Amino acid sequence: PQFYTTDSGLPNHTIYKPKNLAAVNGTMPLLVWGNGACSADGLSHQNFNIEIASYGIIVIASGSPKQSGSTTSRHMTDAIDYVQKQAGKGDYSKINMTKIAAAGMSCGGVEAYEVIGDSRVKALGIFNSGQMSQDGTNKVVPGIKKPIFFFLGGSSDIAYNNGMRDFAAVSSGVPTWVGNYKNVGHGGTYGDVNGGTFGKAAQQYFRWILKGETSTANYFTGNGAKNDGWTTQAKSLDNLVPV
């Protein structure tokens, strides 16, 4: 029911969406995604992105399919700008510009951090990532006032210390959660069928925060994630209000 496509008006991106938009009930949120290594190949996390899109979320990954080179956070901003101009037309006929999240893996997670100051971005997903230094954490994280969830690969994940340091630095009252999946390491499970356990956790998060599907909240507030093998910590989830 979902696939990826491209748009000539947004040539440096890959778009994941349900094939049959008419079958989607209600409006659709937008997730802008940054790839690992800041790769410009928009298929880098194909299975994972398709899994999220299958729940009625348009996912726009930085970089076109199989493109070489690298991206910056500007790609995320460009995607949001373009969709804003196209809202209500064609593939974007059901887009809801009040429901936007930014997320990314590794270097792509750092890109997501860089757009948090955009008032259109309402939530962050940080996957196998974090600020590169204590100084970076101090400068960026305490000022974030939007929900931010971290998905890490355990102590063998090269970004483990960065992500955990960032989680600890999230200001009091801001909804945040961190999960470490077994000791899978930096690569996560993105290439597995449906993005594996990372794909499952991600779609639960974005369905909660972007679509208001409160049934998915229990994955984080209850035992869902733990039953799937995540070791978790959380702060202020009672304050999480879907956008």
145-157: per-residue pLDDT in tens?
A: 999 999 999 999 9
Tell me the pLDDT tens digit for each residue of 89-130. 988 999 999 999 999 999 999 999 999 999 999 999 999 999
- Confidence class for position 1, pLDDT limits 50, 70, 90: low
- Mean residue pLDDT across the chain: 97
- Confidence (pTM): 0.97
Dihedral over Cα of 129, 130, 131, 134: its sign: negative
- Confidence class for position 22, pLDDT limits 50, 70, 90: confident
CATH architecture of the domain formed by 2-239: 3-Layer(aba) Sandwich (3.40)
pLDDT score of 191 more than 90:
yes
